[in-house]
Amino acid sequence: MQKIATNSFELTLAGTWRIETLKNPATLVGPKGEILMINSVVISSGTSEGDFESVRQALQQNAEDSMQNAASDPQLRITIPLKKEQVKGGPLSAEMLCHTLDGTKYFFEFSIAGPSTLVFATLEGPATAEEEIASVRDSLKKIAWLPKR
């Protein structure tokens, strides 16, 4: 297993992933050359309770807008439009899948908002490695959110 740990979450991926860098974004390479980038934004502990929720909603909206903007690339076609889901345990996730026009590569984006952190993942790979999407999605939905410090 590969584990990415920060002060606000821990993400566990299959052992077939190789960590390239743990800077933000963390970058990993998959078994078939896939590239996974994990970005995270922490809402400051000094944010007032009233502002906290509006900041979290704004971060979620920015992530969704980013997905839509990326999908507007003329070299891509949307395979699965933006889909939002309440993950078991409470966090809201959003995802979108695109393919190149020739169908040889995929571009999957996923965001999930934890108690104080938004995680945004981008997974790119050859269409022959599309089975990794489900594995990465499942790992992201099972992020262990750490208590605020």
Task: Give the tens place of pLDDT for each residue, 57-67.
Answer: 888 888 888 88
Return the pLDDT at 50: 65
Strands (E), the chain: 2-5, 9-13, 18-21, 26-29, 35-42, 76-86, 92-100, 105-113, 117-126, 144-145
Residue 25 exposed, middle or buried by CB count within 10 Å (0-12, 13-18, 19+):
middle
Tokens found for residue 95: 């995802």
Strands 92-100 and 105-113 come out as antiparallel
Between 110 and 90, name the one with better pLDDT. 110
Return the pLDDT at 46: 64
Task: Give the tens place of pLDDT for each residue, 81-93.
Answer: 999 988 776 778 9
Q: Are 76 and 130 in contact (CB under 8 A)?
A: no
Tokens found for residue 110: 């996923």
